[in-house]
Structure 1
Amino acid sequence: MDLATLTAGMKERIEAKPAFGNSVKFDFGDAGKIHIDGKNGNTVTNDDGAADCTLKIALGDFIDMVEGRLNGMNAFMSGKLKVDGDMSVAMKLQSIIG
């Protein structure tokens, strides 16, 4: 799975749901970014725009999370997932991604 596939999957799952009111950026380092703007609907892009919350994780670890091989809490506790900004926004993600 690559960044384009992940982005397309997020668009499909998220853009049809009601706006969640915040912006979130997944930062995969040199592998790219996924930005979700939930302020005026939910739009998903690969822009590196400002966000209320940024989740930094290696692309491979994120794929493991998406595919169920890595638990998000375990990733956070082990330092594989770092959260910058408003932690409560990260908690809201489950309602739109799941």
Structure 2
Amino acid sequence: MSETINAAVEAIAAKLDGGFDGTAKFVIEDEGTVYVDGDTVREASDDDAADVVMTADADTFQEILAGDLDPTAAFMSGRLKLDGDMGTAMKLGSALS
């Protein structure tokens, strides 16, 4: 697992202190994928199905996790791509902000 994926797993787990109602994949381009399922946050495998898949470069994810970039703003500007359930993405975005 890359340093970027390790850091993302730790940061997301800390922000989702009470867990998350749903499943999500964070695809960090050229780094790997993080999977969120309830209160579990880990590196994703290819077999992991998710309610929503969010894709962005490492810088965008770092800015979102640091609180420097609102996930909705990242989506609206095209820096964050979504595939799947928008409601789940919005709940997760609120939890990460």
Q: Deviations over 1:18-71 (max 9, x none)?
A: 451x10000112211110012xxx101111311010011111111112223323
RMSD: 2.0
* Unaligned stretches of 5+ residues in structure 1: none
Corresponding position of 1:47: 44
Q: CA deviation at 1:92?
A: 1.2
Corresponding position of 1:75: 74
Provide TM-score, normalisation by structure 1.
0.79
Counterparts of 2:20 and 2:67, CA distance in 1 = 25
Counterparts of 2:49 and 2:86, CA distance in 1 = 15
Q: CA deviation at 1:84?
A: 0.1
**Aligned residues: percent identity?**
32
Counterparts of 1:43 and 1:8, CA distance in 2 = 11
Provide TM-score, normalisation by structure 2.
0.80
Q: CA deviation at 1:78?
A: 1.6
Structure exhibiting the larger radius of gyration computed from Cα positions: 1
Q: Deviations over 1:78-97 (max 9, x none)?
A: 21111100101001114543
Q: Residue 59 of structure 1 aligns to which amino acid in structure 2? A: A
Corresponding position of 1:27: 27
> In 2 relative to 1, CA 76–95 (structure 1 residues): closer, same or farther, beyond 3 Å?
closer
The answer as to whether partners of 1:17 and 1:96 remain within 8 angstroms in 2 is: no
The answer as to whether partners of 2:12 and 2:65 remain within 8 angstroms in 1 is: no
Counterparts of 1:19 and 1:75, CA distance in 2 = 21
How many pairs does the alignment contain? 93
Corresponding position of 2:91: 92
Q: Residue 61 of structure 2 aligns to which amino acid in structure 1? A: F
* Unaligned stretches of 5+ residues in structure 2: none
